[in-house]
Structure 1
């Protein structure tokens, strides 16, 4: 009877019938009370997102597996101290953490969220050393800025570690050091993924957390006598995240075929570089036309009252050459030209019309092969193949045979495969993780162009996935290249319209492009997909913020915070809205909350710097801008504001040096050039200042503040006619009402000596 009930519970979990599993498991525990059965019942409750029930069932239990499940329950309920005690109780100092790599990963999360960074890094590294395929641990190390190069982490030594797992266990164990008892439960639902609906976490105090170890979107599977009735082994089944149908219903029509490269007229382009690597999906799809000039009005807030009327947004880059080209870019993506059929992505919406050929790499070239012939698509480059062959050759036939007496086979997820083939496959996986890991590590270090280059080394089928395309979009966003970011995120949406990865950043991209219609449509789709996801509410908040309705935007960002209190970006966006409302006290609190969650969230450091600058607390401003620049050393925007702060602190020479760095970092950003001219004027280096402004005019020929500053310089040089000319041009360019008043006041005092004007202003 026990075996029958256990099997029924397992079957219910495999088919996502969680209530049925709970009911049957309660009968199992009543008839056969044991801690193993209590573990199964707790796992059923965790599957049904009832962490509080699992918490009460397992409270006081002592076995390793029970403590691990109890720690997960505590983590979901934000009881981090109890979770830590369960994983490493005081009376077992020096004892092993339950569940090996998974336990170390969970403990690392606990240390991270209790602001013990060094301990968190230590346990994430331990988790990776035990299980080299635990990507989530490497991801956390990247976020903390402590990840080693991916070539070191996912190296041949890692392949040997996985090989030993096959040799010692006969299956891909997640932990070399786990005892047989430690295999008795694998929790399958990914409670921590940021794409999981917060609706599923409604009983966990609103926290949508990162990956919890051992959760892999499947069913809870117990091993041992009680868990393997009749079939003699654990069941293994693939499970899927069912996408919401709402996204496709909202779109009205099927998305266009996704191609790596196309031209507006539909002509085909090669999709690989001369070395056989795929080109950038963004750069090689449609290169958006670049305008040298900044649109009218985009620089008006960099006049003498630069910071007086605008709070810091997600990126305070003063660009204007983006919005006009967005529609053309989008139209090019949605064009109906003829595309290279071999580059179509195999999304569910396109499967019915997908060609029967695929593009595969042969040596250094890409060729088409027929799917029906069953030919394997070798998309990894030659280096991956070499690693795989090297590792396989070291795996001798005698060793392979030792796995199974009848033919060098092992059990992998219930499927009998060749041991050598399994190890070779592990090497290929590690090769893929090396490329993905290096790209993600570089992104977290804000070496965004290097990250983009790393992602280009991926095979087509992996590059054209939602996660990678979202990472590409984020990299372009950090490079302040909003058109390219828009294109990458748009393609990510077409690949996986149900995925929320990066959609909060995408909404900010559309905010900067002032694409209110696209932003509104994105918000509706996200809300329809998951109305309780913080990303959806961040997009809605950006919608209202774009319409200057900051109070409503603030309420919406608070909603995102309530849904997931550890979503740092929602705290930062709240801070931006507080600053827009000039509520600096609450703005500081919001930014500090973001930093408590993620100390490397440079946007929050930057926001604090802006608040202190507006309060004329320049020493504090310098510190916070410096912290932001330390995290993101390539940002010309941060450099510009740090230079402005240094100038306010009478450190003008240092300010000019950092402005030069900002100009070199991004030639398209006009702000550092304008600020450099301001500093030179204050140092009475008028000729140098005019030279900088003349160059700036090429980028912003219709920006009134540039001409107004030139007018001030000519006035200081007593060149009244030229000063009047430039003041007149500034007025003709229709500046804001405040700027108009400032320029008219300067015209009225045109013949007043500077010394007398200063005395009058002082009085």
Structure 2
């Protein structure tokens, strides 16, 4: 135990200071000093473990937090312990720690509690459920992971990480049902609307920001003075009851029932979980919740000079209202006689409907009006509310109120200015004081210029300040709804892409606002959608925009490198590889790009080494395992390819490229039944990929099932009508089944899709020969010969056999 509790408090403040400024190493050193002072304190253990997590020292974080976190005795320790267990693959230990601490986080909701001036360093139920979902997913229990993610999104729909994991797991969800108002948001907005000027009845766990009560009843009029109203309700949270509004904070203390003064409570941190205070820490403090009033409270107004009995507020007899302290030192050193004389003068000069300046003193204009009954009645301007919120205005008002000579000189100067402008110098115009007791005429420009800027600006914004509380709930609701709509669009696009519905994803992203669509993350999703559709030119253009926008971005660059590989752009791919490796040598995406560059140059061994390096840096990088398997197939190393594809599936069960690779290996090995099974597994994950369906048809065709193969080819054409491979395979299957006319229709469509493909024209020549159109057959044979001179021997042989009748069609013979 530390000899002085203030030492531990100061250390905690320093630790949070360094953590908030991303100085984790300094924070770790200070946390070690705190842990040495309080070795049995769970807060000290939590801070040390938290610093270790920030530094990436998972084992150390696990060791420091195991004692209090593993048994669920401290929520912070349990949370850090679970995070460390997730990184160390000790999933059951992390799950058990969070379950044992359920009583500490169940029911917590910190939505809308984090701001520039306050924070919660302990997690709430949404954060814990998200972490539990990650642990259960890594453990392999999909059902429990989904339940945890759903609970997290119910509490906080902005838990984007949980939504992404649900999409990646292939769960069927509706984004529109997730990104909507939660009961806490509705309660917050409803309470804000119902209590424009009052904070009473606020729901638990939803902190309301302090608002100045500027309702119609509080407008300053000759008969309604907010400083000394003639009628006050007993339950009013106002000037003399210490409520959480601005006037009460200016008083600083409230009368207690025992005759003393009770300090203001923490109005920005309501109690939660049944306790007096939440055990989280505000920004800039440590050891417990603190009030913002100490750091943000404006200077106190000067002492009020008139006291009034408030029998209806305090039972048991009259009692003086609490005095407002003066800002200046001059008023604080006044003698008691001076104060008494001032009070007596105020009692004689002020009637019930008196007028005052901000300082609370009676203005000399008010006395003049009382002596002159013919003068126009003066109004109290709503500008005093703007002056109260600015310390400079209060100081100015106090200075003027304390110096009668300066006040008279200022009033005389204003009266002279009024006279020179041609206005009548009546008592109502002479009696203008800093408090704003004046009427604004259209020609008051010169009078405004004589006022200080802080005072003049309050006049123009008085009407806006009165309507601000009513507009705030509406603005909050519109802001929340806008964010939820944005998340719904982003979520819908990502959900469609996760289910490989690329066209729907592209349409969703295209419907977004340009400032949100032209961001690296959204553009990366668009690029991946084009890549899945085999639209490599469009994908390249999108990724080029990403590189210009975010040159150091590493995510999804392995997809960009694959796009360049398909486009056979060796120079661009090599340049991309150098860029990525210079930006981050330990990034697996960079090594994937280098491997693709070597693969394009047919240096398969060097490419395999690069892909292995990527998997060493990230053992869960399924795409790198798949690329490694492709290189092994190119080297005809089928056993190694099988191992690489199995590793890819182990890293991500929904990685359809791994299933496709396994099917490809088994097809090369002649195991067509097993190959068909793996191809179908890949097609179930990505049902919109025509290539997978074509591969199933090819295996069925090799298994002597042409009719079943034709069905698969037809389905592939339905999925992607622009797929040249699907049309070509379907046409050849129709010719093999002796349907030359149907095959001719497919080939005529294919000729428009791929007019420069020699195989298409060669097959067209064979079909025309089959239907007896020898002139058309000769023309297409000639086109094929011009497009592919290397296959001249095959094409000339077919041209020489035009006079012969083909009784059968061999699918293998159609290849040139």
Task: Provide TM-score, normalisation by structure 1.
Answer: 0.63
1:86 aligned onto 2:93: no
Task: Find the residue that maps to 1:575 and give its secondary structure.
Answer: helix
Structure 1 pair 232–625 and aligned structure 2 pair: CA distance change class (3 A): farther
Q: For residue 167 of structure 1, what is the aligned residue in structure 2?
A: 203
Q: For residue 433 of structure 2, what is the aligned residue in structure 1?
A: none
Specify which of 18, 23, 40 is matched with residue 17 of structure 1.
23
Q: For residue 77 of structure 1, what is the aligned residue in structure 2?
A: 88
Structure 1 pair 724–65 and aligned structure 2 pair: CA distance change class (3 A): same
Residues 236-269 of structure 1 show CA distances to partners (whole Å, capped at 9, x for unaligned) of: xxxxxxxxxxxxxxxxxxxxxxxxxxxxxxxxxx
The within-5 A match list for 1:504-519 is 504-519=558-573
8 Å contact 1:568–1:597 — kept in the other structure? yes
| Deviation at residue 2 of structure 1 after TM alignment | 1.0
1:29 aligned onto 2:55: no
Q: For residue 78 of structure 2, what is the aligned residue in structure 1?
A: 67
Give 5+ residue unaligned stretches, structure 1.
Answer: 187-220, 236-406, 410-416
Specify which of 42, 48, 51 is matched with residue 44 of structure 1.
51
Structure 1 pair 171–513 and aligned structure 2 pair: CA distance change class (3 A): farther
Aligned equivalents of 1:57, 1:481: Cα separation in 2: 52
Residues 671-691 of structure 1 show CA distances to partners (whole Å, capped at 9, x for unaligned) of: 011111221222233343344
Specify which of 175, 178, 189 is matched with residue 153 of structure 1.
178
1:584 aligned onto 2:610: no
Q: For residue 584 of structure 2, what is the aligned residue in structure 1?
A: 530
Q: For residue 494 of structure 2, what is the aligned residue in structure 1?
A: 440
Alignment length (residue pairs) = 544
8 Å contact 1:25–1:41 — kept in the other structure? yes
Structure 1 pair 467–164 and aligned structure 2 pair: CA distance change class (3 A): farther
Q: For residue 567 of structure 1, what is the aligned residue in structure 2?
A: 621
The within-5 A match list for 1:534-683 is 534-683=588-737
| Deviation at residue 26 of structure 1 after TM alignment | 0.5
Structure 1 pair 10–653 and aligned structure 2 pair: CA distance change class (3 A): same
| Deviation at residue 138 of structure 1 after TM alignment | 0.9
Aligned equivalents of 2:582, 2:277: Cα separation in 1: 41
Structure 1 pair 81–748 and aligned structure 2 pair: CA distance change class (3 A): farther
Aligned equivalents of 1:144, 1:161: Cα separation in 2: 33
Structure 1 pair 91–636 and aligned structure 2 pair: CA distance change class (3 A): closer
Structure 1 pair 607–721 and aligned structure 2 pair: CA distance change class (3 A): same
Bigger shift: 661-670 or 7-16? 661-670
Aligned equivalents of 2:560, 2:277: Cα separation in 1: 42
| Deviation at residue 232 of structure 1 after TM alignment | 8.7
| Deviation at residue 622 of structure 1 after TM alignment | 2.0
The within-5 A match list for 1:327-338 is none
8 Å contact 1:473–1:485 — kept in the other structure? yes
| Deviation at residue 147 of structure 1 after TM alignment | 4.5
Structure 1 pair 655–177 and aligned structure 2 pair: CA distance change class (3 A): farther
| Deviation at residue 425 of structure 1 after TM alignment | 2.8
Structure 1 pair 645–104 and aligned structure 2 pair: CA distance change class (3 A): same
Q: For residue 8 of structure 1, what is the aligned residue in structure 2?
A: 14
Bigger shift: 225-234 or 689-698? 225-234
Instruction: Compare CA radii of gyration and give the structure with the larger one.
Output: 2
| Cα RMSD (Å) | 4.0
Give 5+ residue unaligned stretches, structure 2.
Answer: 1-6, 109-122, 192-201, 209-267, 297-467
Task: Find the residue that maps to 1:37 and give its secondary structure.
Answer: helix
Aligned equivalents of 1:233, 1:608: Cα separation in 2: 67
Residues 132-153 of structure 1 show CA distances to partners (whole Å, capped at 9, x for unaligned) of: 2211111111111215211111
Aligned equivalents of 2:501, 2:520: Cα separation in 1: 21
Aligned equivalents of 1:169, 1:702: Cα separation in 2: 68
| Deviation at residue 81 of structure 1 after TM alignment | 3.2
Structure 1 pair 513–502 and aligned structure 2 pair: CA distance change class (3 A): same
Specify which of 131, 137, 157 is matched with residue 112 of structure 1.
137
1:123 aligned onto 2:157: no
The within-5 A match list for 1:198-213 is none
Q: For residue 226 of structure 1, what is the aligned residue in structure 2?
A: 287
Bigger shift: 33-42 or 567-576? 567-576
Structure 1 pair 634–37 and aligned structure 2 pair: CA distance change class (3 A): same
Q: For residue 521 of structure 2, what is the aligned residue in structure 1?
A: 467
Structure 1 pair 681–224 and aligned structure 2 pair: CA distance change class (3 A): same
Structure 1 pair 180–589 and aligned structure 2 pair: CA distance change class (3 A): farther
Aligned equivalents of 2:175, 2:700: Cα separation in 1: 38
| Deviation at residue 698 of structure 1 after TM alignment | 3.1
Task: Find the residue that maps to 2:67 and give its secondary structure.
Answer: coil
| Deviation at residue 44 of structure 1 after TM alignment | 0.7
8 Å contact 1:507–1:522 — kept in the other structure? yes
8 Å contact 1:228–1:234 — kept in the other structure? no
| Deviation at residue 697 of structure 1 after TM alignment | 2.9
Residues 595-647 of structure 1 show CA distances to partners (whole Å, capped at 9, x for unaligned) of: 22322222222222222222222222222222222222222222222222232
Structure 1 pair 228–578 and aligned structure 2 pair: CA distance change class (3 A): farther
Aligned equivalents of 1:688, 1:151: Cα separation in 2: 45
| Deviation at residue 578 of structure 1 after TM alignment | 1.8
| Deviation at residue 532 of structure 1 after TM alignment | 1.1
Q: For residue 134 of structure 1, what is the aligned residue in structure 2?
A: 159
8 Å contact 2:278–2:289 — kept in the other structure? no
Structure 1 pair 745–89 and aligned structure 2 pair: CA distance change class (3 A): farther
Task: Find the residue that maps to 1:697 and give its secondary structure.
Answer: helix
8 Å contact 1:185–1:223 — kept in the other structure? no
Task: Find the residue that maps to 1:168 and give its secondary structure.
Answer: coil
| Deviation at residue 89 of structure 1 after TM alignment | 5.5
8 Å contact 2:510–2:517 — kept in the other structure? yes
Aligned equivalents of 2:59, 2:293: Cα separation in 1: 33
The within-5 A match list for 1:481-520 is 481-520=535-574
Aligned equivalents of 2:102, 2:188: Cα separation in 1: 33
8 Å contact 2:649–2:655 — kept in the other structure? yes
| Deviation at residue 47 of structure 1 after TM alignment | 0.9
Q: For residue 279 of structure 1, what is the aligned residue in structure 2?
A: none
Q: For residue 431 of structure 1, what is the aligned residue in structure 2?
A: 485
Bigger shift: 746-755 or 577-586? 746-755
Task: Provide TM-score, normalisation by structure 2.
Answer: 0.60
| Deviation at residue 228 of structure 1 after TM alignment | 5.8
8 Å contact 1:99–1:182 — kept in the other structure? no
Structure 1 pair 147–99 and aligned structure 2 pair: CA distance change class (3 A): farther
Q: For residue 357 of structure 1, what is the aligned residue in structure 2?
A: none
| Deviation at residue 745 of structure 1 after TM alignment | 8.4
Aligned equivalents of 1:140, 1:521: Cα separation in 2: 33
Structure 1 pair 178–419 and aligned structure 2 pair: CA distance change class (3 A): farther
Aligned equivalents of 1:617, 1:644: Cα separation in 2: 13
8 Å contact 1:474–1:505 — kept in the other structure? yes
Task: Find the residue that maps to 1:88 and give its secondary structure.
Answer: helix
Task: Find the residue that maps to 1:28 and give its secondary structure.
Answer: helix
